[in-house]
Structure 1
Amino acid sequence: MRINGNTIFIPGATSGIGLALALRLQDAGNQVIVGGRRTALLNEIAVQHPGIDTIRIDTSDSASIASAAAEVISRHPDLNVVVPMAGIMRAEDWTMPGGFLETAEATVTTNLFGPIRLIAAFAEHLLAQPDATIMTVSSGLAFAPLRFTPTYNATKAAIHQLSETLRLQFEGTSVHIVELVPPSVQTDLMPGHAEDPNAMPLDDYIDETMRLLEAQPDVTEVQVERVKFLRYGEARGDQAQVIAVLNGRESEPAAS
């Protein structure tokens, strides 16, 4: 993916990693369209950041996705990058009967069906562009499980495999599949997470991500150094220790 000259739609970019990435991509010389559910927040973003376009979209609603996709393509026929960013992360306890199913279903709808429906809505348009990118968003938790968020972990693992498979299917076309693999980042994804001293500061994460995108235009997985501890536990042969560290049972080795 080239770092500038794109027209980029980022549904789920009204806060956190999505908004921070949208602003950096705009600064790099791209036309950016931010999507989200809350109209008032979208209006605020448009006022505070001239040049960014906004559109209302609920990525948990297939009809909203179809309507927003048609509007985005109509307003920006040169759209060539889609970043399905929207996601939710909620704690679940599967040992409590009846206490997790609603949360698990909502997580699958937003984190897995949402990106699938978004890609389906834009695939035909992107295939007609001379140079296009679908940037999926998985997580370090796709590779090592956090015990409190089983369905979130599962949806992100699914997004990783979806990305790998779509890369095979789109091979030879104009569409490139790039997977963003964030570590724990200081955002409001979960209560108190923005102040978590063990999470990576948001600005640091975006700085490193933008450097990687600029230095490696053909990158398939955008991995900041901090996520590699989770990403490569199985390859290194220390997955059990990675899981123990992640879940607070051991301290992370100094070399990591």
Structure 2
Amino acid sequence: MHITGNTVFIPGATSGIGLALALRLHDRGNTVIVGGRRTELLDRITAEHPGLHAVRIDTTDPDSIRIAAEQVLTEHPELNVLIPMAGIMRAEDWTTPDGFLATAEETVTTNLLGPIRLIGAFIEHLRSRPDATIVTVSSGLAFAPLRITPTYNATKAAIHMLSESIRLQLADTSVRVVELEPPAVRTDLMPGHAENETAMPLADFIDEVVQLIESHPEATEIQVETVKFLRYGEARGDYPQVVAALNQHDPHGK
């Protein structure tokens, strides 16, 4: 993926990593469309950042995805980058169905079905572009589990393998598949996350991501240095130690 000259749609870009990345890509000369559920929030973002575009979308709703895709492609037929960013991360207690089942189902719908449906809505158009990119968003937790978020971990592991698989299918097309693998970043993804001093500051994360995209445009995985502790534990042979370190400060742990 090249750092500039793109038309980029980022569903789930009204806060956190999604919004920060949208603003940085906009600053680097890309046309950026942010997507989210709350029209008042989208209106505020576009008012505060002239030149940024917005489309209402609920990535848990197939009809909303279809309608938003039609709007994006009508208004921005040059679209060549899709970044399905929307996601939720919630604690679960798997010792009882009441402690996890509803949350698990919602997490799968948002974190896995959402990106699959979004790619399905845009893949035909992206294949028609001479140079297109799908940027999936997994997590360091795709490679080492956090005890309190089993379904989040599982959906991100699924996104990793989905990325690997569709990259193979699209190898002979104009569409590249790039996987962004964030570590813990100071956002509001979970309560207390933004104040977590062990997490990476958001601005530092975006700085490093943009630098990696610019310096390695052919990369298939975007990995800031911090996430490599989780990403390569199994390959290094210290996976048990990685899991133990990841969960040692878990207040819900045993």
TM-score range, shorter chain: over 0.9
Q: Which blocks of at least 5 consecutive residues in structure 2 are unaligned?
A: none
Q: Which amino acid aligns with 2:227?
A: V
Identify the residue that residue 20 of structure 2 maps to in structure 1. 20
Q: Which amino acid aligns with 2:216?
A: Q
C-alpha RMSD over aligned residues: 0.9
Q: Which amino acid aligns with 2:236?
A: R
SS of 2:10's partner is: strand
Alignment of 1:7-156 (within 5 A): 7-156=7-156
- Per the TM alignment, residue 201 of structure 1 is displaced from its structure 2 partner at its CA by 0.2
- Per the TM alignment, residue 97 of structure 1 is displaced from its structure 2 partner at its CA by 3.2
Q: Which amino acid aligns with 1:187?
A: T
- Per the TM alignment, residue 96 of structure 1 is displaced from its structure 2 partner at its CA by 2.3
Identify the residue that residue 220 of structure 1 maps to in structure 2. 220
- Per the TM alignment, residue 178 of structure 1 is displaced from its structure 2 partner at its CA by 0.3
Identify the residue that residue 193 of structure 2 maps to in structure 1. 193
Q: Which amino acid aligns with 1:175?
A: V
Q: Which amino acid aligns with 1:201?
A: P
Identify the residue that residue 253 of structure 1 maps to in structure 2. none
The size of the alignment, in residue pairs, is 250
In the alignment, the residues of structure 1 paired with residue 39 and residue 153 of structure 2 have an alpha-carbon distance, to the nearest angstrom, of 30
In the alignment, the residues of structure 1 paired with residue 76 and residue 154 of structure 2 have an alpha-carbon distance, to the nearest angstrom, of 34
Q: Which amino acid aligns with 2:116?
A: I
In the alignment, the residues of structure 1 paired with residue 111 and residue 176 of structure 2 have an alpha-carbon distance, to the nearest angstrom, of 21
Identify the residue that residue 174 of structure 1 maps to in structure 2. 174
The one-character-per-residue Cα deviations of 1:135-156 (angstroms, maximum 9, x if unpaired) are 0000000000000000000000
In the alignment, the residues of structure 1 paired with residue 69 and residue 29 of structure 2 have an alpha-carbon distance, to the nearest angstrom, of 23
Identify the residue that residue 205 of structure 1 maps to in structure 2. 205
SS of 2:136's partner is: strand
The one-character-per-residue Cα deviations of 1:59-97 (angstroms, maximum 9, x if unpaired) are 000110011001000000000000000000000000123
SS of 1:246's partner is: helix
SS of 2:135's partner is: strand
In the alignment, the residues of structure 2 paired with residue 99 and residue 167 of structure 1 have an alpha-carbon distance, to the nearest angstrom, of 36
Q: Which amino acid aligns with 1:220?
A: T
In the alignment, the residues of structure 1 paired with residue 248 and residue 68 of structure 2 have an alpha-carbon distance, to the nearest angstrom, of 42
In the alignment, the residues of structure 2 paired with residue 11 and residue 227 of structure 1 have an alpha-carbon distance, to the nearest angstrom, of 23
**Which TM-score applies when normalising by structure 2?**
0.97
- Per the TM alignment, residue 99 of structure 1 is displaced from its structure 2 partner at its CA by 1.9
Q: Which amino acid aligns with 2:148?
A: F
In the alignment, the residues of structure 1 paired with residue 98 and residue 189 of structure 2 have an alpha-carbon distance, to the nearest angstrom, of 24
SS of 2:226's partner is: helix
- Per the TM alignment, residue 249 of structure 1 is displaced from its structure 2 partner at its CA by 6.7
Q: Which amino acid aligns with 1:236?
A: R
In the alignment, the residues of structure 2 paired with residue 37 and residue 248 of structure 1 have an alpha-carbon distance, to the nearest angstrom, of 36
- Per the TM alignment, residue 172 of structure 1 is displaced from its structure 2 partner at its CA by 1.2
Identify the residue that residue 254 of structure 1 maps to in structure 2. none
SS of 2:77's partner is: coil
In the alignment, the residues of structure 1 paired with residue 23 and residue 97 of structure 2 have an alpha-carbon distance, to the nearest angstrom, of 43
